[in-house]
Amino acid sequence: MPLFEYKCPSCGKTTLLDPLGECANILKSGQKCGFRFPLVAGSGNSKVREKMEKHTTPQSGLMTSDYSWIDDKASYPLYQIDAAKSGSLHLDQKMNYLFLWQTPVGENHFAKIIYANDCSVSGVSGVVLPLNSKLQNMHIHFSNYESHFVEIAPQSDQIIIQEPNAAHPLEYWVLSGQEPIFFLFPSSQLSGVPPSPSV
């Protein structure tokens, strides 16, 4: 299961969050912070709830960008948690961000997407959880597997995803063991060496 080393919005300090767990940082009061991954146990700020609303509302007609949704609102948080805990790490080479990828029902379609270029609607099979947002804003959308997706680490690898921090203020790092296996500038340039498939 990936661990998220991100700044906790609740206690303000870096946390190492298991997507099913709670921020273990101890507050001045002596109590545990307890922040939970968005949408676990009903948590989630207004931005995440807005995204959940968006991606559970069908669309048609002209769109300015691709737009994906599921019809069942109650499933959205479940897909989100599942992607956070069981997704495999990928890089979107076109948009240049890291994300977790999960196919809840294999090749089968469970969601829909409308493409902006031709207004066509297609079934989709995958969940995308982009990692380039603040911890409290993490949310999923839906997609088919695109040619610009590259797997960085399989689901079985124990990885730690670090957002930019004091040690590497411009880059996301992904740690497997003690070494960064991959890192990425959030702007445009790719840096570091993607791991070999055996890593």
Asked if 10 interacts with Zn ion (CB under 5 A), we say yes
186 φ, ψ to 5°?
Answer: -70, -20
**Cβ-Cβ contacts under 8 Å for 61 (sequence gap 6 or more):** 119
Among 33, 84, 124, 181, binds Zn ion (CB under 5 A): 33
For residue 151, give the H/E element and its range. strand 149-153
Minimal distance in Å, beta carbon 10 to Zn ion? 4
Minimal distance in Å, beta carbon 40 to Zn ion? 14
Binding piece for Zn ion, criterion CB under 5 A, among 15-23, 39-47, 51-59, 77-85: 15-23
Question: Do residues 143 and 17 lie in contact, with contact meaning Cβ atoms separated by under 8 Å?
Answer: no
Asked if 25 interacts with Zn ion (CB under 5 A), we say yes
Among 2, 4, 6, 11, binds Zn ion (CB under 5 A): 11
Residue 77 tokens, joined: 């948080």
For residues 80-108, b (16+ Cβ closer than 10 Å) or e, as one string? bbbbbbbbbbbbbeeebbbbbbbbbeeee
- As a whole number of angstroms, the longest Cα–Cα distance in the chain is 56
Rounded to 5°, angle at Cα 90 from 88 and 95: 150
Binding piece for Zn ion, criterion CB under 5 A, among 3-11, 60-68, 108-116, 145-153: 3-11
Binding piece for Zn ion, criterion CB under 5 A, among 7-15, 82-90, 126-134, 183-191: 7-15
Minimal distance in Å, beta carbon 22 to Zn ion? 8
Asked if 135 interacts with Zn ion (CB under 5 A), we say no
Among 6, 19, 22, 35, binds Zn ion (CB under 5 A): 35
Residue 125 tokens, joined: 């099979």
Minimal distance in Å, beta carbon 29 to Zn ion? 13
Minimal distance in Å, beta carbon 27 to Zn ion? 8
The footprint of Zn ion (CB under 5 A) covers: 8, 10-11, 15, 23, 25, 33, 35
